[in-house]
Amino acid sequence: MTIFGITVSAATIWFVVGGILAIIEAVTLGLVCIWFAGGAVGAAISAMLGASPLVQIIVFLAVSAVLVAVTRPIAKKRFNNKTEKTNVDALIGQTGVVEEKITPESSGQVKADGKVWRAVSESGEIEKGSVVVIKSIKGVTIMVEEIGGREC
């Protein structure tokens, strides 16, 4: 194949594609391109052995698929895939203290994580000073449940 007057073999093109994919993988660390880089190397080897372009593409797809099927489960186990709750999601399960009485008719206020939040209770009235646990968050309102006890 001739590109801009330079004769380039199919193997060279596949190696360049593999190198570009490897560089993209190194920059993004997303574990996506690395398998296709391996497929490109497989296709380059098939090109060096004289395979037709159709066979090269089939080798590329097959090697990529095998690499994904074999190594992806191993990679998922090895890398930390646990997500850490941040921001307001981290509040769920924490306790707070009622700053303003919560009634079934109106919301109150709960101090949790050093901040005062608008709060409602699905289980009824909660007196000021009661300790509550945060069950969920809807918009800027936390849903709380009394766990007993009072702030000292």
The residue ranking higher by pLDDT, 133 or 79, is 133
In the chain, domain spans: 2-78, 87-150
Res. 150: pLDDT tops 70: no
Rounded distance between C-alpha atoms, residue 104 and residue 13, angstroms: 70
**pLDDT at position 149, please?**
62
Nearest to 43 by CA among 69, 74, 21, 73: 21
pTM attached to this predicted model: 0.50
Q: What percent of the chain has pLDDT over 70?
A: 88
Residue 12 has which token pair?
């060279």
Rounded distance between C-alpha atoms, residue 132 and residue 32, angstroms: 44
CATH class belonging to 87-150: mainly beta
pLDDT in tens, 5-57: 777 888 999 999 999 999 998 888 777 788 899 999 999 999 999 999 999 99
